[in-house]
Amino acid sequence: MRIGASLVFLSALLSLWASCSMRLRPDSSVPAIEAGYPTAEASVFGERFRGLNIVSAPKGMPLSDLNFTVHGYFRGTVRVDSENCQISHSVRYDQTGPVKVELPGVLEKNCIFGFVVSPELPDQQSNSQIVHSLKGVLAVRIDDKPDLAWLGSRAVFQKGFSFHLDLPLPDPPILYLVGCGKTVSQSKSRVMVSDLVDGRSCVLTGFAAYGVEPDVLIDILAIKYSEGFVEVPHPSVSWTGDDKMCVYADEAVSLLWFDGVLFNGSSGCFRASAGTVVRGLTVKGRGFVGVVSERGLDIL
């Protein structure tokens, strides 16, 4: 009982501190959500991701089995919409942390879910800076051919972007992709994605064939964001002699979280161990999510 009471007191104390003394730094960037750049953090099937993800699941699976959670900041609303699967769902939350999203229905066809996190600061009226919403995209495809290998890729890009598909065989395949209003058929595994996507999030789907029949099924979830938008640089880190990690983020970063402990500023030091999650956020929705490892800080 004493531990529970102490935790309640600590939570209340942190909330009081946040509401009384939080100072937000300006960010001269266009808001990430307006630029079309996905920065919301989420988890599906136990896998943490930031911005975009694509997964496969069997037809008829309850969507609640996705174990879909979205990371919320302070208090606010998480909204999830899928136009092609006719789902619209919202959840209110009241503290920083993962927000469970119980999507209704079952998986009857491939779905693209857009989700938006809208934080509300405790002392928003006393701040001249407004914390903007963060967006993300999750695509769920039906795994209707489990005997074939599947490659799911994701791409966030600007004009002129291409990337190499990590196919299992070295020989140049016949690559066929369709979606986003375009069709591509080629004999190389490097794809000029920016020539295929017109600015919205969409999925390119197809296959790679090393012979007559398809050998690898392919889905690429892609989104093109506004030219000129730049995400904040990855933070630098250093270690102190007492096993503390110090994180130094871009000066536009207002808030840092170390496994849920809030630092108001762009730098801070904390006792770290493998698996500790570090988050940074600007008022325009830019930022980073990193996980402490033996290498330092692995950015998602």
Strand segments (E) across 125-201: 134-142, 149-157, 163-164, 174-179, 182-186, 190-191
Residue-wise pLDDT tens digits, 209-219: 887 788 889 99
* Domain 30-142, CATH among 1.10.472, 2.60.40, 3.40.1350, 1.20.272: 2.60.40
Are the C-beta atoms of residues 111 and 53 closer than 8 Å to each other? no
CA separation for the pair 139, 83 (Å, rounded): 12
CA distance 46 to 127: 36
How crowded is the C-beta side of 108, counted as CA atoms within 13 Å? 8
Domain boundaries, the chain: 1-28+230-300, 30-142, 149-224
Q: Which amino acid is at 234?
A: H
Ranges 6-15, 72-81, 207-216: which has the least confidence: 6-15
- The residues with which 157 forms a beta bridge, in sequence order, are 224
What does the pLDDT look like over 136-146, one tens digit per residue? 999 999 998 88
Tens of pLDDT along 213-266?
Answer: 888 899 999 888 888 899 999 999 998 877 789 999 999 999 999 987 888 899
